[in-house]
Amino acid sequence: MTLHREGKSLLISSLLIVLVINGLVAYFFPENAYLREAIVVITSLFYLIILQFFRVPARHTEINPKHIIAPADGKVVVIEEVEEPEYFKGKRKQVSIFMSPLNVHVNFNPISGIVTYFKYHPGKYLVAWHPKSSTENERTTCVVKHENGTEILFRQIAGALAKRICWYVKEGDAVTQGQEFGFIKFGSRIDIYLPLDAEICVNIGDKPVGSETVIAKLR
């Protein structure tokens, strides 16, 4: 397991803050061993929480053109047929995965192909499970077209804690299933829009593993 590059500056600044706090407590309360130990424990736990958020575990993707893999770790919170207004302008099957601050927040390409559409939308920071978060929150929309002609749309959505969405793709890029395409800092969500005849392989409440779990199969 490694640490994600998006966490470098935050981890360094957090470490400096932790060291300064512990140094100040040791300086002003040299006789209070219990207080010093308590502050060490609290600040260490704080730093470990931030550290684990930026972890990048090793993952293995079995590439299959008929499989749609989970673009993120988390919990399946939505499976329904909806109207997708931005790109398809028609009905699609939507699968949404909610990522808590304890999940890995690396985002993976659910299918191989060419990025035919990408757009960043500034917006609000409603809680990620709010019904309007898909259309009103800060978000990105990415569409990948497979060589068989199938297009899959997936949308990074910022949550109440997420103030920065990161992406590493642009229109025209060739992407590979399971390859990292982005990162969202802290709690967030990803929506995936699939053809109506796609076979959904997960249920509400399931906890897929990003880049490994098959969430749907194409006909």
Instruction: Report the distance separating Cα 129 and Cα 98, nearest Å.
Output: 7
The letter for the amino acid at 121 is: H
**Greatest CA span in the chain, whole angstroms?**
71
The β-bridge partners of 214 are 69
Quote the strand ranges of the chain, DSSP E: 2-3, 55-56, 67-69, 75-84, 90-99, 106-108, 113-121, 139-145, 151-158, 165-167, 174-175, 180-184, 188-194, 199-200, 214-217
- Of 96, 112, 188, 211, which one is the catalytic site residue? 188
Is-catalytic flag, 44? Answer: no
Catalytic residue positions? 188
